[in-house]
Structure 1
Amino acid sequence: MIIFPLLVPGYGGNQIDAKLHKTSTPSVYCSKDSDWFNLWLNLEQIVPLVVNCWVDNIKLYYDNVTKTTHNTPGVETRVPGWGDPEVVHWIDPSHNMNGAYFIDIGNLLISRGYDSKKNIRGAPYDFRKAPSKCCKCLSTENLTLKSASISLDENRQYFIDLKELVEATYETNDRIPITFIAHSMGSPMILVFLQQQTSEWKEKYIARVISLAGAWAGSVKALKVYAMGDDLDSFLLSGKVLREEQISNPSTAWLLPSPLFWGGNEVLVTTPKRTYTMGQLEQFFNDLDFRNGWEMRKNAMRYVLNFNAPGVELHCIYGDRVPTVEKLIYEKDDITGETPTLLMGLGDGTVNRRSLRACKYWSGYQTANISNVVFSGVNHMDILKNKKVLNYITRIMQI
């Protein structure tokens, strides 16, 4: 039986285009005007001489009144290739191997008779943004794994389009339910989507979800990004330079550790004279002099706290036993501009073990089967190309 896949990327997992009509730039090396061009991933722009131009083009600005974000003035962005797997197979359209993403899974499917133009679909989105809704600050005390109904904000149109794509794929492929294959942040994105659908709709249109390295409950690495940025594993780039763009994204706030899986008194950051626990992240943001980070976190909290089961068959696949940041340790009490030492724990190198395993919680809350499969030593990105993982996907999809 053929099962039709729909690929849902994680943070940074699809292309973004930009068009410029700016009145000012941060450097004489930066362009003010352009037609549409590839912004992410464009390795030619993420180099020391012009990286500040790229940061200015891709970063977001947070409006604390509307609780939404917008681009730098004079920058238009779009997500190309809706439904086309190409933009999630390769996040770099030049097919540079550093921009390979779902391509190994795509090649596996094509080798088994799938058609990338008909029955392999991609669902790219603006991964800078996150499900968010303006809400009052929520206490992290006495939290449960139950929550009220939620509504959608900046991702609202994406979820509308995704539902239409699922239904169209179903109709054009002999009315066979589709299989979501999601990676990293794509897994909680699909969870939010499925929580909005009726049981009848899911039973008709969704066969299963295959989650690869799902960041179900966030990651301490997101906290590290606020503290020092992420250099994207490049020795040429400075994490502190890229931090300006990375912390402007609501999705980074969404991916902070969930208070459902980290205790309120659990220490995440230390300085010589104080600690910051899970329940004291607001003070951490204040001391970092980045209040907007906490405001964006508050907007995402109702999605963080809604951990209701997806209600479909789920294969939760992830790596483990890879050193993963667990705590930040500062040598000074004034943490602004300082670089902490990273205390490592277990996970897949990006997502902590408890977040990867969070899908186990649903076993007693839905009738559909949930499988947890661990590949020891496989890191967050290699899970997309590991041969044992690909073989397991082959068995799931019966191809």
Structure 2
Amino acid sequence: MQRYMYAFMMATVARLRWSTIWLLVPVAAAIVLSKFASTTRRAPQQLPPVVVVPGYATNELDARLTELYHPSSPRCGAHKGKGWFRLYLNYTALEDAADVRCFAEQMATAYDAASDDYRNAQGVETRVPFFGSTRAFRYPDPDRRNFSYMDKFVSRLERLGYRDGENLFGAPYDFRYAVAPPGHPSRVGDAFFGRLRRLVERASRANGGGPVTIVAHSYGGTLAHQFLLRRPLPWRRRFVRRFVPVAAPWGGVVLGMLTIVAGNNLGLPFVDPLALKGEYRSLQSSLWPLPNPNAFRAGQPLVTTRSRTYTAHDMADFLDAIGLGAAIVPYQSRVLPLFRELPSPRVPVACVVGVGLDTPEMLAYPGDDFDVTPMMVMGDGDGLVNLVSLLAVDPAWRLPAAYFRMLKTSK
């Protein structure tokens, strides 16, 4: 029963979240063209080039199984030695519980303490197709085209005169990974940042050498922010016209604590989130949404049990309590330092956020058992990201930035 209640709860939150995203789309599109008096269709050469960094689990991901892969069942080895196949998103491969197990096995990663980095499961190679194009995330499942976070935004830009590969570019990434603070390796994350740098420079060259607008959604916003911080300031001022983060969870989200307890079904109502619990817990990116002390005050209860209250300052204890003690070291060394401070990228910024929707603000467990569905205490936000997290960079970014706007929209 618990799994069905949890799935229903997550589906409800997802519906609220996506209803807000549709409201944010026209605002973000208008900001892209805020240089002009109107947003009517214009010739491509008149439009500032745009690079889009999508949100979490929005783009396709391919896999290839090598001889080193040892499947847990013959079914999981069906693709072994047969070249690249689409691992994510593929509805057909997720409609059967047996296939979901294979999906989780092949999507999982592992933290290697010796190298201080994350890696794929043994024998699983992955790649992100269509880098540079919005095709990568317009429809995560291109076979059905019924699960799209970004199509509405891309379509609106196309109506304004944007064309994929000409003045509109996509920067998809392997959303299982992230980046780490200086001094810690991050092979996959650093490679993505290298590709993103070259893409921004290419977009500029292809459009007369002008600077580029970087639009980033949700988790992509926090990644793009880290990217900008790691580029020299002269490079940012030369190549970045404006940074437009949409619904970025600067301070993490309370719901991130629930998903790491019980799994994440990636918004697919027919998938049992508990079946993906182990896979989700193995990912570096699953630690990024945990609420951080930079946004949530020290005394604010986020999770309560019969005998303990957890705040944003108690994440190590929380991870240990839910049986994820192995994640404490990478969380403390590779995640928390990135969010202790949120420095301005020192380029023009326009944050677009949704407000006014019930958003989980505290999770109350009746006992000390996390294997039950908690009661949710709701607060303000966009349905997923808490208001305090959405606004965490304001007013700090107003002072060093030449231009800063915080645009709020509500249902």
Aligned to 2:57: 12
Task: Map 1:202-351 to 2 at 5 A.
Answer: 202-298=236-332, 299-335=334-370, 337-351=371-385
Cα separation, 1, equivalents of 2:409 and 2:304 = 32
Q: Is 1:202–1:312's contact at 8 Å kept on the other side of the alignment?
A: yes
Aligned to 1:92: 141
Cα separation, 2, equivalents of 1:18 and 1:234 = 20
Cα separation, 1, equivalents of 2:336 and 2:382 = 24
Cα separation, 2, equivalents of 1:330 and 1:27 = 36
Aligned to 1:159: 193
Aligned to 2:26: none
Say whether 1:355 aligns with 2:404.
no
Q: Is 1:222–1:255's contact at 8 Å kept on the other side of the alignment?
A: yes
Aligned to 2:36: none
Cα separation, 1, equivalents of 2:327 and 2:258 = 13
Cα separation, 1, equivalents of 2:269 and 2:386 = 24
Instruction: Specify the SS of the correspondent of 2:200.
Output: helix
The runs of at least 4 aligned residues of structure 1 exceeding 4 Å deviation read 149-152
Q: Is 1:253–1:294's contact at 8 Å kept on the other side of the alignment?
A: no
> For 1:72, which of 121, 132, 136 is the aligned residue?
121
Deviation at 1:289, TM superposition (A): 1.2
Cα separation, 1, equivalents of 2:325 and 2:105 = 20
Aligned to 1:145: none
Cα separation, 2, equivalents of 1:198 and 1:168 = 18
Q: Per-residue displacement from partner, 1:30-72 (whole Å, max 9, x unpaired)? A: 2351321111111112222411110001111121232211212
Cα separation, 2, equivalents of 1:152 and 1:375 = 38
Q: Which amino acid aligns with 1:319?
A: G
Say whether 1:56 aligns with 2:105.
yes
Give the percent of matched residue pairs that are identical in Structure 1 and Structure 2: 29
Cα separation, 1, equivalents of 2:300 and 2:354 = 24
Q: Which amino acid aligns with 2:178?
A: A
Give 1 or 2: higher helix fraction. Answer: 2
Q: Is 2:253–2:389's contact at 8 Å kept on the other side of the alignment?
A: yes
Q: Which amino acid aligns with 2:200?
A: V
Provide the aligned length of Structure 1 versus Structure 2.
Answer: 360
> For 2:75, which of 25, 29, 43 is the aligned residue?
29
Cα separation, 1, equivalents of 2:196 and 2:255 = 28
Q: Which amino acid aligns with 2:375?
A: T
Instruction: Specify the SS of the correspondent of 2:56.
Output: coil
Cα separation, 2, equivalents of 1:317 and 1:329 = 30
Q: Per-residue displacement from partner, 1:303-323 (whole Å, max 9, x unpaired)? A: 112311011111111111222
Deviation at 1:88, TM superposition (A): 2.0
TM-score, normalised with respect to structure 1: 0.85
Q: Is 1:228–1:339's contact at 8 Å kept on the other side of the alignment?
A: no
Q: Is 1:63–1:69's contact at 8 Å kept on the other side of the alignment?
A: yes
Unmatched runs of 5 consecutive residues or more in structure 1: 134-148, 378-399
Instruction: Specify the SS of the correspondent of 1:56.
Output: helix
Q: Is 2:304–2:365's contact at 8 Å kept on the other side of the alignment?
A: yes
Cα separation, 2, equivalents of 1:101 and 1:233 = 11
TM-score, normalised with respect to structure 2: 0.83
Unmatched runs of 5 consecutive residues or more in structure 2: 1-45
Cα separation, 2, equivalents of 1:197 and 1:249 = 26
